[in-house]
């Protein structure tokens, strides 16, 4: 398993070792010992999620204020552009975002630490998006930052007119009004 730093403090891209032969492929998608050793702390997951979305569907930018979630995300089928935004005031990368193309073909995973907002857009015809979280989902605690926030200037690679987004996500708050973590 190869673990690489990103431009956000404590966020990492994970590339699992792929074993392939005439029967197909095998990869280890989670190894607590290796991952904890690489990032310097033990991670415990409490929930697994799976979403299916069509081309140009954008979900996010979501975060929970009182029950922040660390997320280990990957794509089971298709291709997405995955984005994390650092909302931790004390972080040297506060206000930065990192985007990573995740796909069935590249098998990359993205670790997004607690205190970051998260979203993705589907670049293929459809995608199965899989992720583990360190805290349970709490809908009353969730906030959404508007995907096209003028201060963040996230390049989603798709013209805004083509993006498919829920009313909830489209009415997100600005980065300036977002809850900030210490």
User: What burial class does residue 115 get, using C-beta atoms within 10 Å of its C-beta: 0-12 exposed, 13-18 middle, 19+ buried?
Assistant: buried
CB 131 within 8 A of CB 60: no
104 is catalytic: no
Please identify which of the residues 63, 97, 98, 131 carries the catalytic annotation: 131
Taken in order 64, 153, 122, 171, the sign of the CA dihedral is positive
118 is catalytic: no
CB 113 within 8 A of CB 70: yes
As a whole number of angstroms, the distance between CA 46 and CA 69 comes to: 10
Please identify which of the residues 62, 97, 98, 147 carries the catalytic annotation: 62
Closest to 149 in 3D by CA, of 120, 178, 180, 112: 178
Catalytic residues: 62, 131
């Amino acid at each position: 398993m190869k673990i690489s730093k990103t431009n956000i403090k404590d966020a990492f891209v994970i590339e699992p070792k792929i074993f392939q032969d005439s029967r197909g492929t095998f990869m280890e998608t989670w190894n607590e010992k290796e991952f904890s050793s690489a990032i310097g702390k033990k991670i415990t997951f409490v929930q697994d999620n799976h979403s299916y979305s069509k081309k140009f569907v954008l979900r996010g930018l979501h975060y929970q204020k009182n029950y922040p979630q660390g997320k280990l995300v990957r794509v089971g089928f298709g291709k997405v552009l995955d984005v994390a935004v650092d909302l931790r005031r004390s972080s040297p990368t506060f206000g930065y975002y990192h985007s990573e193309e995740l796909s069935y073909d590249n098998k990359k995973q993205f670790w997004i630490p607690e205190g970051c907002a998260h979203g993705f857009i589907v670049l293929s015809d459809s995608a199965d998006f899989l992720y583990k979280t360190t805290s349970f989902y709490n809908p009353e605690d969730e906030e959404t930052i508007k995907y096209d926030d003028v201060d963040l200037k996230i390049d989603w690679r798709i013209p805004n007119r083509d993006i498919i987004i829920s009313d909830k996500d489209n009415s997100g708050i600005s980065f300036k009004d977002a809850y900030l973590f210490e």
